[in-house]
Structures are given as structure tokens and as C-alpha cells.
Amino acid sequence: MVNDAQWRCAPPVLPAPVLDCLTEPASLSLRLQAGGRRFAVRVLDQGDSRALPDEAEALDLPPGAPLYARHVLLTLDETPVVYARSATRHDCPAWMPVLMRGSRSLGLTLFGELPALRREPLHYQLLDSRHPLAVEAAAAEAAETYPARRCRFLLDGSPLLLTELFLPALKDLL
């Protein structure tokens, strides 16, 4: 469970189209594809990383512990609209084949291909530009804050934490 005080069960106040995407209960990738624009996943980095302080507990790790992470941009018509980080423990063989997917959307697997998968509730936050993930998202599009959502998935008892930051360009492409 994501218990960090920053992350809340209720989403922040946002314009309706962005809020609808932020609170999408199914696959965000499918939601973005449904808008009729050209959707793509651009892999930025994949491999060794460290547990951020606000994600460590959800992964059953101490802050700064080594982990495996995949960082991507979701794009519409080649414009980055979502920055996402998927993180799991190194000792987690269940998630490695799922994350080794190149530019295929993770959402396609998380919402349909894994019957044993358990999804916990979404949590929300406005991440300020100093948060480590906001710093990474700023390489695609700078903002003072980023609406974000986070969800923990369990596969064979092993956690994967997916955090998605919504870039300002999204509102213009919905």
C-alpha cells in the first residue's frame, strides 16, 4: 500500500479533461489511444536505479536501495504528454519479462494479459518541480507542478510501482 503522506486517495483539482485522464480506472494508454491521435511509447531509460524516498515503502525497500526501473514518455502526435516510471525490486523475476518490452505500452499487459495481477487503488499528488521525477519530466516539458498518479501492482506477491506525471501539453491534445 502507498502510505506516504504526499500521495492522497483523492485527486487534485484540475481541468476536466486532464482530471478524467488522471483518474482513468483502466489503461491510460488505451484512453490516450482512443482520442484518435497517434500514440507511441518512447523509452528513455531502463535498468538499475534507486528507490526514491516516497516509493521505497511501497516496494518494501529502504530509501536509496537498488531497484530496476523503466522510464518512458507517452506521446500523442509525437508530443510528450506523460512521463512514467515503473519500478520493482531487483530480486523480482515476475516483473522482469513484463518490463522488458521495448516501446510496447505497459498498460496493454497490466490491463488484460496477466490474470493473476492485483491492482491497488490509485493515489494522486501535484508533484512540485523539485521532486526527482518532476526533474526528469522537465526534460520533456518544464512545469512548476505536475499532476501525478501512482499505483502499486502485485504479481506473485511482488510489487511494481507505476508513477505517471501528466505534462502540460496533454490538455491541448485531449
H-run or E-run covering 14: none
pLDDT, one tens digit per residue, over 82-119 is 999 999 998 788 898 889 888 888 887 888 777 888 99
pLDDT, one tens digit per residue, over 2-45 is 334 589 999 999 999 999 999 999 889 989 999 899 999 999 99
Separation between Cα atoms, residue 145 and residue 33, nearest integer Å: 25
pTM, to two decimals: 0.93
Count the neighbouring beta carbons within 10 Å of the beta carbon of residue 98.
20
pLDDT of residue 93: 84
pLDDT, one tens digit per residue, over 122-148 is 999 999 999 999 999 999 999 999 999
> Residue range 36-63: average pLDDT?
95
H-run or E-run covering 33: helix 28-33
